[in-house]
Amino acid sequence: MNLSVIQENLARGLSVVSHAVSSRSTLPVLANVLLRTEDAGLKLTATNLEIGITYWVPGKIETDGAITVPARLLTDVVNSLPNERIDLELSGGDRLHLRCGRYETHLRGIDADEFPAIAAAGERPTTRVSQKVLKRALSEIAFAAASDEARPILTGVLTRLEGDRITLAAADNYRIAITTIPGLDAVEETSVVVPARSYAELARVLVDTDDPIEIILSAQKSQVLFHVEGVDLVSRLIEGQFPNYQQVLPTSHATRVELDREDLLKAVRLAAYIASASANIVKLQVAPEGAPQVTVAAAADVGDHQGVVDATVEGDGTTIAFNAKYLGDVLQNVDADRFVIELNGPLSPGVFRPADGRDYTHVVMPVRTAS
Amino acid sequence: MRTSPTILHVDLDAFFAAVEQRDRPELRGRPVIVGGDSRARGVVSTASYEARAFGVHSAMPLRTAAGLCPDGVFLPVDGAKYRRESRRVMEILGRYTPLVEQVSIDEAFLDVAGSEKLFGPPAEIARRLKAEVRDETGLTVSVGAATTKLVAKVASDLRKPDGLVVVAPGTEAAFLAPLAIRRLWGVGEQTRLILAEHGVRTIGDLAALPLDVLVRRLGAHGAALHDRARGIDPSLVTPETAAKSVSHEHTFDVDTADPEVIERTLLALAEGVAARLRAGGVRASTVQVKVRDSAFHTSTRQRTLPEPTDLADPIFRTALDLARPEVRGRRVRLLGVGAHGLGEPAQLDLFGEEDPRRHRAAEAQDAIRRKYGTHALTRARLLGDPLADPGGRDPLQPLEGRRVGRALPAGGPDDRGRAGRPPGAGGRTPAPDDDPPTP
């Protein structure tokens, strides 16, 4: 193996694949990044067995070859080198020799054959979707997935392909976020559950362009592969049945509030300073129709707080308590100037949507408090 | 090690009886016994000092007290009044430091380490707060001041009533040495008997006993006693505001072995506990039952629930399950159902298994009882014989103060186990059932 790449390109590639490096694994090779010459370029691959990321660095190949070296070390070294040409060469079979300007580094590696095989793109895509659209959808729903493994299925994002619609849903025990985005190809109905962590990595790779990302489901539906120019991301899928969320979505409401997202987020954050001293609970007091405001209140041993947010209110006044974290999450992550909140009294789920009417629904379960 | 005796233990003197004597001047100077009618079952909650002269003490059956003190004035327990008075006293203590740890309705620890610049040395603070309590409430307190909670507690008990004992730093072990072993926390009847085999009568004797002997005889408890005998106690004054537990108890008029009566009583107690939890807006993660038999042998068992609840049914089912092996073959004198591990207000589940209609039903019950009285609604199963009355302790009254289960006098005056409390036991030190109570 003997090739040359530009420092900037190699550094970018390493920063993308390093997210898939396994920091704590019993397999030492998983802490390494695989470098392999392919298609007149350098292919970088890292995996933690849940996801694998492959990145193509443009380069000038003299001779082909492959090796794995510690990802962290290589990344640190490359990041510190000047933005010039780097010559990479295999030396003595298990060492990677880097030469860049006046710097020379040898890194001891592990044979490339020990690196697990990672699926590659090549098959026909199952469907495609605009990168920009998917990026926003992921940032608006993936945070709602469960972070603990008590119910593994909830650590994933339901991904349902149906005709030219793609529905994404993520939930933990107390909230659910659902959105539907357009796909570019019509497909037969199929559903998979993708780990939320994989989607978080995918969101990093996506850029704000209408260029499509290809989605390829493996034949046995055990893996999904995402491909954009220069990058592949493979993820395992979570087995099991995603809860039937349709039945928990409210179909009517007694109170409808419309307000400014930033205003409400500010009020919730302020109240959360007090709320976090006890159970992190903030109350929304919605004035009845005619008195257009919502009061955000919190009380704890350390003190109490309330703030008023202008709103338009239709229907009954009501008071409902939520965990401040869940309110903050939805208000912070959803891209909308104004929000609609639909309520049905203090013990029924609250529905949050962008006021622009696009297809996004976020349901948060309230907290029962002593009245 | 503290260089100044900044931990104060403040203990109200013969609290319940003192309140009654304050409010009814004709009772002053007479033996007053709070606990209930002299012919009733149940035990003495508090005896005035005049009654103690006759040998009456708390936790003694009322009938025994009546035998010792036939001219005693027997009064029922007026929990609401004592709680109100307790709050007034605790408010006064709070003027001297925010670090007030109320241990029960009538005692508290204070850490005044940060208050010396404002109010003077601990002995001065003790004198001031004693005067303020007397002037504002007409009650007297005894105060112990020391470098540890353990020694402060022993000190406050030494010169009751209206006492003040200050133990200088460095003299703790010498102070404790001549005192009877029973004054030490965690030394109940069983421990005392074991220690007596080694000739231990005073705390000094205990301190002289080698650690390995104590550990061999008493395990980890022995190691703790080894430290305590020297006045060593690392526990801090920790103010807490949330209630720790809710419990209801019932003493039968006639000891019973009837499974049906026992089951129904547990159900009634579970209803009362659940209603109190709902009124307080909390859920419990652990259910405990207490069974005392006709021989006054008490056993408790507890179990953690799969998920916290404030509903009567899961509490009842768990309590019944726990009680069954305990009541078998015994005549039961007292049953108690407790809820511990009280949690924050409930976050409702999105995909929860629990049927929200159960809650709505329970809340409707609560609303009806609030409006029409506690007897407006009763489970069919509880109709008929008067059993433990779930409304008897006003279950709709919100949890207040702290450590409800500990601070409030148990429903029945028969609250021996509850009265026997080691100081500072926020669940850290198990309350030995055989500890002599000291209200």
- In the sheet that B283-293 helps form, which strands lie side by side, from edge to edge? B245-256, B332-343, B283-293, B298-309
From 1.10.10.10, 3.30.2130.30, 3.10.150.10, 3.40.47.10, which CATH number describes the A2-114 domain? 3.10.150.10
In this prediction, residue B118 carries a pLDDT of: 86
Contact A98, A105 (CB under 8 A): yes
User: What whole-number distance in Å separates Cα of residue B87 and Cα of residue B102?
Assistant: 10
If one compares A276 and A231, the residue with the highest pLDDT of the two is A231
Parallel, antiparallel, or unpaired: how do β-strands A338-343 and A350-354 relate? antiparallel
User: Closest residue of A to B343, CA-based?
Assistant: A279
Q: How far is B94 from chain A (nearest CA, A)?
A: 15
User: What whole-number distance in Å separates Cα of residue A237 and Cα of residue A215?
Assistant: 13
The CATH class of B245-400 is: alpha beta
Using CB atoms, pick whichever of A171, A301, A367 lies closest to residue B346.
Answer: A367
* Residue A367 near chain B (CB below 8 Å): yes
Amino acid at A125: P
Q: Do domains A2-114 and A252-364 have the same CATH topology?
A: yes
**Residue B1's pLDDT band (cuts 50, 70, 90):** low
Interchain pair A173, B346: CB under 8 A: no
- Per-residue b or e along A145-183, where b marks 16 or more CB atoms closer than 10 Å to that residue's CB: bbeeeeeebbbbbbbbbeeeebbbbbbbbbbbbbbbbeb
**Inter-chain contacts counted by CB atoms under 8 A, chains A and B:** 54
Residue B64, C-beta contacts closer than 8 angstroms, at least 6 positions apart: none
Residue B59's region, left for phi above 0, alpha for psi from -120 to 50, else beta, is: left
* Residue A321 near chain B (CB below 8 Å): yes
- Give the H/E segment covering residue A66: strand A66-70
Q: How far is A173 from chain B (nearest CA, A)?
A: 5
In this prediction, residue B431 carries a pLDDT of: 35
The mean of the pLDDT values for chain A is 92
* Residue A317 near chain B (CB below 8 Å): no
Closest CA to B241 of B273, B282, B302: B282
* Residue B241 near chain A (CB below 8 Å): yes
Interchain pair A369, B345: CB under 8 A: yes
pLDDT in tens, A8-51: 999 999 999 999 998 777 788 999 999 999 888 999 999 998 99
User: What whole-number distance in Å separates Cα of residue B248 and Cα of residue B253?
Assistant: 16
| Main-chain dihedrals φ then ψ at residue A192, nearest 5 degrees | -135, 160
Interchain pair B281, A369: CB under 8 A: yes
- What DSSP character marks residue B271? H
User: What whole-number distance in Å separates Cα of residue A342 and Cα of residue A350?
Assistant: 6
pLDDT in tens, B89-125: 999 999 998 888 887 788 999 999 888 888 899 999 9
Portion of chain A with pLDDT greater than 90, in percent = 79
If one compares A279 and A80, the residue with the highest pLDDT of the two is A80
User: What whole-number distance in Å separates Cα of residue B375 and Cα of residue B381?
Assistant: 14
pLDDT in tens, A53-68: 999 999 999 999 999 9
* Residue B95 near chain A (CB below 8 Å): no
Torsion from C-alpha of B310, B316, B318, B321, nearest 10 degrees: 180
The residues spanned by each domain of chain A are 2-114, 127-246, 252-364
Parallel, antiparallel, or unpaired: how do β-strands B73-75 and B32-34 relate? parallel
**Residue B241's pLDDT band (cuts 50, 70, 90):** low
- Per-residue b or e along B80-113, where b marks 16 or more CB atoms closer than 10 Å to that residue's CB: eebbebbeebbebbeebbebbbbbbbbbbbbbbe
* Residue B346 near chain A (CB below 8 Å): yes
Interchain pair A369, B349: CB under 8 A: no
* Residue B356 near chain A (CB below 8 Å): yes
In this prediction, residue B182 carries a pLDDT of: 85
Contact A41, A6 (CB under 8 A): no
Q: How far is A370 from chain B (nearest CA, A)?
A: 4
Residue A155 has pLDDT above 70, yes or no: yes
The residues spanned by each domain of chain B are 16-79, 245-400
Contacts of B281 in chain A (CB under 8 A): 368-370
Bridge partners of A226? A215, A233
**Has B107 been annotated as catalytic?**
yes
Q: What CATH superfamily is the domain A252-364?
A: DNA Polymerase III, subunit A, domain 2 (3.10.150.10)
User: What whole-number distance in Å separates Cα of residue B122 and Cα of residue B413?
Assistant: 36
- What DSSP character marks residue B184? S
Contact B247, B274 (CB under 8 A): no
* Residue B398 near chain A (CB below 8 Å): yes
Q: Say which CATH architecture domain B16-79 belongs to.
A: 3-Layer(aba) Sandwich (3.40)
> Taking residues B196-206, what's their average pLDDT?
91
User: Closest residue of A to B239, CA-based?
Assistant: A301
Contact A175, B350 (CB under 8 A): yes
Residue A321 has pLDDT above 50, yes or no: yes
Q: How far is B277 from chain A (nearest CA, A)?
A: 10
Three-class DSSP category at A210: coil
| Main-chain dihedrals φ then ψ at residue B398, nearest 5 degrees | -60, 155
Q: Which two tokens stand for residue B187?
A: 């030394």
* Residue B170 near chain A (CB below 8 Å): no
In this prediction, residue B355 carries a pLDDT of: 55
Q: Which two tokens stand for residue B118?
A: 């404002």
The answer as to CATH 3.10.150.10 being correct for domain A127-246 is yes
Q: Catalytic: which of B20, B85, B107, B172? A: B107
Interchain pair B350, A365: CB under 8 A: yes
Length of chain A: 371
* Beta strand extents in A196-254 (DSSP E only): 212-217, 223-228, 231-236
User: What whole-number distance in Å separates Cα of residue A229 and Cα of residue A231?
Assistant: 6
In this prediction, residue A25 carries a pLDDT of: 76
* Residue A52 near chain B (CB below 8 Å): no
Q: What number of CA atoms fall less than 13 Å from residue A287's CA on the CB side?
A: 13
Contacts of A321 in chain B (CB under 8 A): 345
**Residue B240's pLDDT band (cuts 50, 70, 90):** low
Question: Terminus-to-terminus CA distance in chain A, angstroms?
Answer: 72
In this prediction, residue B401 carries a pLDDT of: 34
Length of chain B: 439
Bridge partners of A362? A177, A352
In this prediction, residue B427 carries a pLDDT of: 34
In this prediction, residue B430 carries a pLDDT of: 35
Residue B260, C-beta contacts closer than 8 angstroms, at least 6 positions apart: none
Closest CA to B410 of B58, B73, B13, B18: B58
User: Closest residue of B to A176, CA-based?
Assistant: B350
In this prediction, residue B356 carries a pLDDT of: 63
pLDDT in tens, B384-433: 655 545 444 444 444 443 333 333 333 333 333 333 333 333 333 333 33
Interface test with B, best of A178, A330, A365 (most B CBs within 10 A): A365
Using CB atoms, pick whichever of B350, B352, B360 lies closest to residue A175.
Answer: B350
Q: How far is B239 from chain A (nearest CA, A)?
A: 12
Bridge partners of B81? none
Q: Which two tokens stand for residue A135?
A: 């990026």
Portion of chain B with pLDDT greater than 90, in percent = 40
- In the sheet that B100-104 helps form, which strands lie side by side, from edge to edge? B100-104, B107-111, B7-12, B141-146, B164-166
Contacts of B356 in chain A (CB under 8 A): 347
Q: How far is A331 from chain B (nearest CA, A)?
A: 19
Q: Which two tokens stand for residue B385?
A: 């014989």
Q: How far is A130 from chain B (nearest CA, A)?
A: 31
Give the range among A91-105, A128-142, B392-406 with minimum mean pLDDT.
Answer: B392-406
* Residue A249 near chain B (CB below 8 Å): no
Residue B60 has pLDDT above 70, yes or no: yes
* Residue B98 near chain A (CB below 8 Å): no
User: What whole-number distance in Å separates Cα of residue B411 and Cα of residue B421?
Assistant: 17
**Positive or negative torsion for Cα B201, B204, B210, B211:** positive
Residue A277 has pLDDT above 90, yes or no: no
pLDDT in tens, B337-380: 999 878 755 778 887 654 567 777 888 888 887 777 777 788 88
**Residue B45's pLDDT band (cuts 50, 70, 90):** confident
In this prediction, residue A100 carries a pLDDT of: 95
CA distances from A327 to A79, A144, A362, B310 (A): 39, 11, 10, 26
Contacts of A250 in chain B (CB under 8 A): none
User: What whole-number distance in Å separates Cα of residue B293 and Cα of residue B300?
Assistant: 12
Interface test with B, best of A173, A276, A362, A368 (most B CBs within 10 A): A368
The mean of the pLDDT values for chain B is 81
Q: What is the ipTM of this complex?
A: 0.77
> Taking residues A178-186, what's their average pLDDT?
95
User: What whole-number distance in Å separates Cα of residue B409 and Cα of residue B397?
Assistant: 15
**Positive or negative torsion for Cα A118, A120, A124, A128:** positive
Q: Which two tokens stand for residue B210?
A: 């080698």
Q: What number of CA atoms fall less than 13 Å from residue A26's CA on the CB side?
A: 0
Contact B251, B334 (CB under 8 A): yes
